[in-house]
Amino acid sequence: MVKRNIKKNLMLRDLTTFHLGGPAELYLEVKNKKDIIYAHNLAKKEKINLFVLGGGSDILVSDKGIKGIVIKIIDKTLKIKGNILVGRAGVVWDYLVEKSIQKGLSGIECLSGVPGTLGAAPIQNIGAYGQELADTFESLIAFDRKNDEFIKMNKKACRFAYRDSIFKKEAGRYIIFEVTLKLKKDNTPKIKYDSLSFYLNENGINNPSLWDVRNVVLAIRKAKLEDWNIIGNAGSFFKNPEISKNDFQKLKKIIGEVPAYPTGNKVKIPAAFLIEKAGWKGKSFKTAAVSDKHALILINLGGKAKANDIKNLAEKIVLDVKQKYKITLVPEVQLIGF
C-alpha cells in the first residue's frame, strides 16, 4: 500500500493569496487519481469534510482554519496538440496562458495575470477584459464524490454563468482533475473591452498581437490592482451586480451618470464604482482595508489582518451600498471555515 504524507495542522495562510487562514486539520498533496480516491475514502470513513485547495486565490479562510482534510493537486502536466490544451488541475493558470500564446493560440490572452490554478478556473468561471473560461472550455474530468467515480463533464454539465458554475452550486461534490480547452489558431486577438482598446491605442498599438494584449493586460493589472505577493488580497472581492433596466433608471436618479454594460434584459454595473461612490475606497476597518488603488479589492492591512476583519469589512460595505443604492453586492470570494 502506498504511504501518503498527510500533514497535521498545516497553516493555510502560507497557501492563500490573502496570506490568511488557520490550520488545516489534515493536509495532503495529491499527485494522481489514486490519491484523490484515497482522500475521498478517508473523509468518508472518518466522516470528515474534504476541501480542495487550488492556488489559494478567490478564497478567504477563517482564522480557525478548516476541519477535516484539505487536499491540493500538485500535478502540473500540460499538453498542447494543435489548438487543444489539456492540463491537470495543478497547472498554474498564467503559465498556461503564456504557453498558449507561444503556440499562437488565441482565446485566453485577456486572462493573463489571473492568479490561481487551472483546476480552480472552472469553479469561478474566471473572466477578465471581455473573456471568460467558458468561451474556450471544452470538457473536464472530475471525481464525483456523490457517485464515487471519475466522470467527464462538457460545458452544459458545468452550468457556467457569470463567476459561477455547478462547482459552486454543489460545492464539495466534485474534485476537478483535468481540464481541456479549445482555442483558435489565430494571432489576431478580438478586443471587446473598452479600457483595453483605449490603452492599446494610447500606446500606438493599432494591430495588436497576442503578446501585445498579454503585455498590456499585465501592465494594466500591475497599475490598477494590488500584487498579492506584496499585499495580501484575493482580487475582486465582489461580483459586478446585474440589475433590471428599471432599477438602472432608479439608480441614475440617485447617483447621476453610471457606467453600465447591457447584458440581455439586464444591466451590469461595476461594483467598484458603487463601492467608491459610497466612500469606501481607501477606508480601513481594524486590520483590513479597501485598496486605494481599486475599490473592489479588500486587503490584508500590513500583513496582520484577521480573517474576521476582512469578512466584517465586506459585510459593512454590502450593507452600506444596499442602504444607499438599493443594490445587494454578492461576494465573488468564497468564505471558507466561518
CATH architecture of the domain with range 233-336: Alpha-Beta Complex (3.90)
Give the three cell numbers for residue 120. Answer: 480552480
Instruction: Cite the active site residues.
Output: 163, 236, 332
Residues with Cβ within 8 Å of residue 45, at least 6 apart in sequence? none
Task: Please provide the CATH number assigned to the domain covering 78-185.
Answer: 3.30.465.10
Q: Is the dihedral of CA 152, 75, 16, 135 positive or negative?
A: negative
Q: Which CATH class is domain 7-73?
A: alpha beta
pLDDT of residue 2: 62
pLDDT tens readout for residues 27-80: 999 999 999 999 999 999 999 999 999 999 999 999 999 999 999 999 999 999
Residues 53/71, Cβ–Cβ less than 8 Å:
yes
What stretch(es) of the chain map to CATH 3.30.43.10? 7-73
Question: pTM (2 decimals)?
Answer: 0.89
CB atoms within 10 A of CB 284: 15
pLDDT tens readout for residues 110-131: 999 999 999 999 999 999 998 9
CA–CA dist 326, 199 (Å, integer): 33
CA–CA dist 220, 109 (Å, integer): 13
pLDDT of residue 178: 98
Ranges of residues in the chain with a pLDDT under 70 are 1-3
